[in-house]
Amino acid sequence: MAQCEICGKETSLVNAIVEGTTLSVCTNCARFGNVLQPVRSYGKPKGFGGQFTEQETEEIVEDYALRVKDAREKRNMKQEDVARAIAEKESVIHKIESGHMEPSFAIAKKLEHFFGIRLIAKVKVSSEKAEPEKPSGSMTIGDIIKFRKE
């Protein structure tokens, strides 16, 4: 069992994006964000004191703006035409192409399907986490939230 990064509860965890940060959280705290997928633990590697985890997540590719713009230009389409075809605002397409706005996964999937391009890539992340220590008076984010409410 591992410790939730929000409330500190020792339980099985899932990965969730909470306010733009990927965290390993319990199912109760997962409601504060978007769940990615469960953390798969492979136990302790020989010679290490921590726990080894391997996670696979999806991310928007770095050159999304160039890929969308190139695909649109190859089809000789205007931003307005693309926006109408995928049921989004023209300003959204403009911001994505100029790199001022990273598309959400929903919009990225629409663009991928419409243009036949890849905007979402799977990324594997391996890390060693220190073994969760027993609470020793240290505060978690959950403790701070409770403290402010009182």
DSSP result, 80-139 = HHHHHHHT--HHHHHHHHHTSSPPPHHHHHHHHHHHT---EEEEEEEEEEPPPPPP-S--
Residue-wise pLDDT tens digits, 21-35: 888 888 888 888 887
Supply the pLDDT for residue 41: 45
Q: Residue 110 is part of a domain; what is its CATH number?
A: 1.10.260.40
Give me the chain's average pLDDT, please: 79
Supply the pLDDT for residue 111: 94
Confidence (pTM): 0.51
Task: Kindly state whether residue 35 falls inside one of the protein's structural domains.
Answer: yes
Task: Kindly state whether residue 141 falls inside one of the protein's structural domains.
Answer: no
Domain that holds residue 23: 2-56+123-136
Is residue 132 located within the same domain as residue 104?
A: no
Alpha-carbon dihedral sign for residues 39, 40, 44, 46: negative
Is residue 33 located within the same domain as residue 69?
A: no
Task: Kindly state whether residue 75 falls inside one of the protein's structural domains.
Answer: yes
Supply the pLDDT for residue 82: 94
Residue for token pair 């109408």: 84
Is residue 66 located within the same domain as residue 50?
A: no
Residue-wise pLDDT tens digits, 57-100: 888 888 999 999 999 999 999 999 999 999 999 999 999 999 99
